[in-house]
Amino acid sequence: MRTVFWEKNELKMIDQRILPGRFEVLSYRGHKEVAHAITDMVVRGAPAIGAAAAFGLALAGYESASSSSSSLLADLQAASATLKAARPTAVNLAWAVDRLMEIASASSAERSADEIRQLILDEAQKLADEDVEINKRMAEHGAALINDGDTIILTICNTGALATVDWGTALGVIRTAHEQGKKIHVFVDETRPRLQGARLTAWELEQYGIPYEIISDNTAGYFLKAGKVQKCFVGSDRTAANGDVANKIGTYMLALAAFDNGVPFYPVVPTSTIDLSLAHGDLIPIEERNPQEVLGLEFEGQRVAPQNAKARNIAFDVTPNRLVTGIVTENGVAYPPFEASLRKVVKE
């Protein structure tokens, strides 16, 4: 089933906070609820966030009591600001909302308010359907980079079907290679502090029957240096025009270790996640989340940190393009110089 989908005038989303212990699907009827769900990580992963925000804007259209196109447009603009503020780093969120707002604005002169509501919902559904198709195309390009017998380290966070509408980005590549009959093994970084690797990626790999082992985040360098890893595949929440890649915190350290040991490092990135308006990664806004995500960690039922401890909880880091072997997109693999190759795949 899809991570994010529309059913009976409601947005339905898998609650990713409680996996793998429980599987639940939550329903949403208001855009503010959707924005809170994005912030609270009921839904996460840049493509999934984008689709959730698109359906959230559709909900805002039906929430509005406006009977005129102009007043509905004003309500939609207010809702779009609320949704776009939910997670600042993932560019897909703003991209999806802006895409729908452009259609609403272009139609406001000749369409009724109800027609605009339907247009927005139709476009949100189209965006979600496109995400699945794009992911499968990316997966084919990425799977061609994987050899039978490869040991792959799929690091930092979850990049599978749960991070998208369906199929996945980096984990979608792994899944496709597996379905092609390639014998592969996956090292899964646990991904602190929210443990999306240990909770979500491991859970998905079990569904697909792909052999894996969970490793602590700081073990990756050991396996890379020992020659136990042939390739690294990661996701991205925003990729700058020069190929700098923002992804879950810890990706930069993994890229450094991979580079130092001559292991290819491939972000898997839909073109909607490539932000050509940003010349380099230092311009990417980096989210800092609630310190309680770090301080609240427990071991064998006991709090890890001292009661009065303080913490910093940076959610993303930026991997410079010099550490990136190639960037897998739905339009092929982009190689350095990324300033030219990324523009080419986006244009296609």
Do 4-136 and 145-347 have matching folds?
no
Residues identified as active-site: 237
- What CATH number labels 4-136? 1.20.120.420
What letter does residue 321 receive in the DSSP assignment?
Answer: G
* Closest among 291, 338, 287 to 87, alpha carbons compared: 287
Distance CA 109, CA 97 (A): 20
- What CATH number labels 145-347? 3.40.50.10470
How many CA atoms within 13 Å lie on the side-chain side of 205? 28
Distance CA 39, CA 34 (A): 9
CA angle at 65 for the pair 59 and 68, rounded to the nearest 5°: 105
For 244, residues 6+ apart whose C-beta sits below 8 A from its C-beta are 280, 281, 282, 284, 318, 319, 320, 321
Q: How far apart are the first and last CA of the chain?
A: 29
From residue 51, how far is each of 154, 212, 225, 237 by CA, in Å? 24, 29, 39, 14
Strands of 212-215's sheet, edge to edge?
212-215, 185-189, 151-154, 231-234, 265-267
pTM: 0.94
* Closest among 105, 115, 36 to 74, alpha carbons compared: 105
Q: Tokens at residue 136, please? A: 């499968």
**Do 210 and 219 meet the contact criterion of CB atoms below 8 Å apart?**
no
What letter does residue 142 receive in the DSSP assignment?
Answer: H
What letter does residue 243 receive in the DSSP assignment?
Answer: S
**Do 1 and 7 meet the contact criterion of CB atoms below 8 Å apart?**
no
Residue ranges per structural domain of the chain: 4-136, 145-347
The amino acid occupying position 126 is K
The amino acid occupying position 347 is K
3-state secondary structure of 13: strand
- pLDDT per position in the chain (348 positions), as tens? 999 999 999 999 999 999 999 999 999 999 999 999 999 999 999 999 999 999 999 999 999 999 999 999 999 999 999 999 999 998 999 999 999 999 999 988 889 999 999 999 999 999 999 999 999 999 999 999 999 999 888 778 999 999 999 999 999 999 999 999 999 999 999 999 999 999 999 999 999 999 999 999 999 999 999 999 999 999 999 999 999 999 999 999 999 999 999 999 999 999 999 999 999 999 999 999 999 999 999 999 999 999 999 999 999 999 999 999 999 999 999 999 999 999 999 998
